[in-house]
């Protein structure tokens, strides 16, 4: 989600600024053996191992052919030719860039993959949307399993009416949670990072610190189409990860990769009046599979695995699941190394029922405001529904009249859980709780659907079969219906881009909890403050719900959703559709990957309620309320909710 009420998300991140050519280490006998078994490594050592594999033309052709084929399914490809305002920063000719990547000379396999990664990350389709963020992008596990970290997360806080960038005041508590292998390194080199906690930052890398945050938002933080949302992901923030309160380090202090060796900060420490310049050294956190040397690094982290490429679900050994659930979420590599929110900043209020999963709910001391912190739309599909019912039931029993939904750093998840929450809060009388959507009508997609029909398949086997969807009157389509024949003509930026017929989701078929007819709280009176891509867009477009965003750069606009798609397909999923539909031998089908990686794209467009010719992703929606974080709220959810309730519900 984007933005979200709070703020934003982030995601993946990538390279920092600087050039990656500069950091080559001296040749070692086996640069991977040198870092084997360590979780925290010097960036130059990490990069030396990553650069130990020479450029391989066979792998380039494999990767680029795969990516080119997958982009045929990316619903926003043609929009990128000329992204409409205010999203102009995300303008790129995808095919021309692929051709350039095919011509460029690269010294190492790393250099090639990093260039592709940067290119797809900067498409900024962090898709956020509906309940989800989607991200398209190329994720070579070999090289995205490294994350640079410094013990000085950065935040933008308001103090005496002025917003400035600070080293997070809780930098010590936060960094200690990363562990002594991390902090011990700084102690061992005599670098006193603890005294920097809370320091006011005047410059970063010799620039205005907000300019540097902008730079990182432009070049590092992918995932969100809106620049303002990406600026937020440069900063540290609270979130829910692994069903627990957590703190995200932010893209300036925790970029993916091992490119930067240090971050130069000009700052004024707490209790000082004198500005000084420090270079905070990065350490690289290795997040991948264990290895002992160069050969095992490649075998365990870089070579394709059994789960890299898709499966023909018609195969005899496969027993189909009851129903496949569409997802739309972002990839945040840093999630795998997530640390908790320092305990002292967790809510002190007793949680209400239904707070053991991705949702944490509370009743504020005013006794009238219920808070649901929806950390993601993923996790346990049925458990999420039970938790919503349990929380709302307890809210009603306690006489709660105002509902605050916090979507800070919500990375998306199941499309249908976003629709469930929307419908539960809005009541079933609103009818269909989702968006009208389409897939692209490219020739291979048409062959997949025709293949599925010829094999007599249904939604247990494929996302492409029609029984996954409903006609616009909400009657489920029969599995044998071909919604890609004929395709519907559509033109984007002068390019013909035919789509499928328009359809609805069929989420209600998978709900285990029934939805009340009437809303449990009065949405139209602004009793519900929420945000977050699809969910927040629906709440905004259909219910005029109050939406507030925290953070961003002062004076710069921020969308409350980063970007919205409607469903992401991972490469494994798309390849399974192709194989199950019986068209893997078609010349248009992307080849199986030879390396361990994922190329994911937004596969369905969601169309705006107000303008059915525009994808919701390209409809600019600014929040009605915008607040700065303070030192009391940036890492303290309960303080933030109390503040938000006082502003929104008074």
Among 226, 225, 154, 192, which residue's Cα sits nearest to residue 183? Answer: 192
> Which C-beta is closer to ligand NAG: that of 59 or that of 157?
59
The Cα 48–Cα 35 span in angstroms is: 10
CA distance 347 to 569: 36
485 binds ligand NAG per the rule CB under 6 A: no
Structure tokens belonging to residue 448: 């997949």
**Smallest separation, CB 356 to ligand NAG (Å):** 11
Q: Does 270 bind ligand NAG (CB under 6 A)?
A: yes
By CB under 6 A, the residues from 561 to 600 that bind ligand NAG are 594
Q: How far apart are CA 227 and CA 220, in angstroms?
A: 11
> Judged by CB, which is closer to ligand NAG: 240, or 470?
470
The answer to whether 475 contacts ligand NAG (rule: CB under 6 A) is yes
- What's the rounded Cα separation, in Å, for the pair 116 and 288? 20
The CB density around residue 404, as the number of other CB atoms within 10 Å, is: 25
Instruction: Indicate whether 349 belongs to the interface with ligand NAG (CB under 6 A).
Output: no
Among 24, 96, 102, 620, binds ligand NAG (CB under 6 A): 102
Does 471 bind ligand NAG (CB under 6 A)? Our answer is: yes
353 binds ligand NAG (CB under 6 A): yes
| CA dist., res. 15 & res. 636, Å (int) | 29
User: How many whole angstroms separate alpha carbon 596 and alpha carbon 587?
Assistant: 23
Please pick, from the candidates 42, 49, 59, 388, the single residue that binds ligand NAG as defined by CB under 6 A. 59
For residue 356, state whether it binds ligand NAG (rule: CB under 6 A). no
Q: How far is the CB of 227 from ligand NAG (least distance, A)?
A: 31
Q: Is 501 a binder of ligand NAG (CB under 6 A)?
A: no
61 lies in the binding site for ligand NAG (CB under 6 A): yes
Q: Dump strand ranges (E) for 269-385.
A: 276-281, 283-286, 327-329, 339-340, 359-363, 369-374
CB 499 within 8 A of CB 487: yes
Q: At 589, is the secondary structure helix, strand, or coil?
A: coil
In the numeric block, which tokens belong to residue 295?
A: 């050969």
If binding is defined by CB under 6 A, does position 299 make contact with ligand NAG?
no
User: How many residues interact with ligand NAG (rule CB under 6 A)?
Assistant: 18
The strand order across the sheet containing 244-248 reads 237-241, 244-248, 339-340
Q: Does 272 contact ligand NAG by CB under 6 A?
A: no
Q: Is 304 in the site for ligand NAG (CB under 6 A)?
A: no
**Does 397 help bind ligand NAG (rule: CB under 6 A)?**
yes
Is 58 a residue that touches ligand NAG (CB under 6 A)? yes
Binding pattern to ligand NAG, positions 68-87, x when CB under 6 A? x-------------------
Minimal distance, residue 8 CB to ligand NAG, in Å = 28
Q: Nearest 5°: phi and psi at 244?
A: -135, 160
Does residue 72 contact residue 594 with C-beta atoms inside 8 Å?
A: no
Shortest Å distance, C-beta 473 to ligand NAG: 4
Distance CA 2, CA 9 (A): 6
Contact assessment for residue 537 and residue 130, using Cβ atoms and an 8 Å cutoff: yes
Q: Which two tokens stand for residue 183?
A: 């902090």
Instruction: Please tell me the total number of residues recorded for the chain in this structure.
Output: 650
Q: Is 65 a residue that touches ligand NAG (CB under 6 A)?
A: yes
Site for ligand NAG contains 39 (CB under 6 A): no
160 sits near ligand NAG (criterion: CB under 6 A): no
Pairing of strands 359-363, 137-140: unpaired
Binding mask of the shown chain, residues 504 to 543, with x at each position contacting ligand NAG by CB under 6 A: ----------------------------------------
Q: Is 52 in the site for ligand NAG (CB under 6 A)?
A: no
> Nearer to ligand NAG by C-beta: 56 or 207?
56
Sign of CA dihedral 323, 326, 329, 331: positive
Q: Which stretch binds ligand NAG (CB under 6 A): 52-60, 140-148, 237-245, 500-508?
A: 52-60
Report the interface residues with ligand NAG, using CB under 6 A: 56, 58-59, 61, 64-65, 68, 102, 270-271, 353, 393-394, 397, 471, 473, 475, 594
């Amino acid at each position: 989600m984007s933005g979200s009420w709070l703020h934003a998300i982030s995601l993946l991140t990538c390279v920092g600024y600087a050039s990656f050519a500069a950091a080559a280490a001296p040749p070692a006998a086996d640069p991977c053996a040198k870092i084997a078994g360590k979780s925290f490594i010097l960036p130059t050592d990490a990069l030396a191992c990553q650069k130990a594999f020479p450029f391989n033309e066979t792998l380039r052709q494999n990767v680029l052919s795969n990516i080119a084929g997958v982009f045929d399914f990316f619903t926003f490809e043609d929009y990128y030719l000329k992204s409409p305002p205010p999203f102009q920063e995300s303008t790129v000719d995808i095919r021309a860039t692929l051709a350039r990547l095919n011509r460029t000379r690269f010294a190492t396999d790393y250099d090639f993959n990093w260039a592709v990664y940067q290119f797809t990350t900067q498409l900024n389709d962090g898709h956020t949307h509906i309940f989800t963020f989607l991200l398209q992008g190329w994720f070579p596990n070999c090289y995205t399993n490294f994350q640079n970290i410094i013990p000085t997360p950065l935040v933008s806080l308001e103090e005496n009416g002025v917003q400035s960038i600070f080293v997070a005041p809780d930098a010590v508590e936060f960094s200690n949670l990363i562990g002594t292998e991390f902090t011990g390194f700084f102690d061992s080199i005599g670098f006193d990072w603890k005294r920097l906690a809370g320091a006011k930052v005047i410059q970063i890398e010799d620039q205005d610190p907000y300019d540097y945050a902008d730079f990182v938002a432009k070049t590092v933080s992918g995932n969100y189409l809106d620049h303002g949302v990406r600026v937020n992901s440069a900063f540290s923030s609270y979130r829910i990860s692994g069903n627990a309160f957590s703190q995200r380090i932010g893209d300036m202090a925790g970029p993916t990769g091992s490119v930067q060796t240090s971050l130069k900060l000009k700052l004024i420490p707490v209790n000082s009046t004198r500005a000084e310049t420090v270079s905070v050294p990065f350490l690289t956190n290795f997040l991948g599979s264990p290895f002992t040397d160069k050969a095992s690094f490649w075998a365990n982290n870089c070579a394709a695995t059994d789960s890299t490429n898709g499966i023909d679900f018609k195969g005899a050994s496969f027993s189909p699941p009851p129903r496949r659930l569409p997802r739309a979420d972002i990839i945040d590599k840093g999630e795998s190394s997530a640390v908790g929110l320092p305990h002292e900043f967790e809510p002190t209020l007793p949680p209400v029922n239904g707070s053991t999963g991705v949702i944490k709910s509370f009743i504020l001391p005013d006794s009238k405001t219920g808070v649901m912190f929806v950390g993601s739309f993923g996790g346990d599909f049925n458990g999420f529904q039970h938790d919503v019912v349990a929380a709302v039931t307890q809210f009603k029993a306690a006489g709660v009249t105002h509902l605050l939904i916090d979507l800070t750093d919500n990375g998306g998840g199941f499309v249908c859980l976003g629709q469930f929450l929307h419908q539960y809060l809005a009541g079933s009388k609103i009818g269909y709780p989702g968006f009208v959507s389409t897939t692209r009508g490219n020739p291979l997609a048409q062959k997949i659907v025709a293949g599925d029909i010829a094999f007599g398949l249904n939604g247990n086997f494929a996302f492409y079969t029609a029984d996954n969807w409903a006609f616009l009157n909400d009657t489920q389509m029969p599995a044998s219906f071909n919604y890609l024949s004929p395709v519907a003509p559509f033109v984007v930026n002068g390019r013909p881009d035919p789509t499928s017929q328009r359809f609805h989701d069929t989420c209600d078929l998978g709900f285990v909890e029934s939805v009340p007819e009437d809303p449990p709280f009065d949405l139209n009176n602004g009793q519900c403050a929420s945000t977050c891509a699809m969910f927040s867009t629906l709440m905004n477009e259909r219910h005029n719900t109050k939406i507030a965003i925290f953070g961003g750069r002062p004076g710069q606009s921020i969308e409350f959703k980063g970007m919205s798609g409607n469903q992401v397909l991972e490469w494994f999923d798309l390849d399974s559709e192709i194989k199950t539909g019986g068209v893997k031998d078609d010349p248009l089908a992307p080849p199986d990957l030879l390396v361990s990686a994922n190329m994911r794209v937004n596969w369905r467009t969601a169309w705006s309620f107000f303008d059915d010719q525009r994808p919701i992703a390209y409809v600019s929606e600014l929040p009605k309320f915008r607040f700065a974080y303070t030192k009391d709220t940036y890492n303290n959810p309960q303080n933030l909710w109390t503040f938000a309730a006082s502003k929104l519900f008074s």
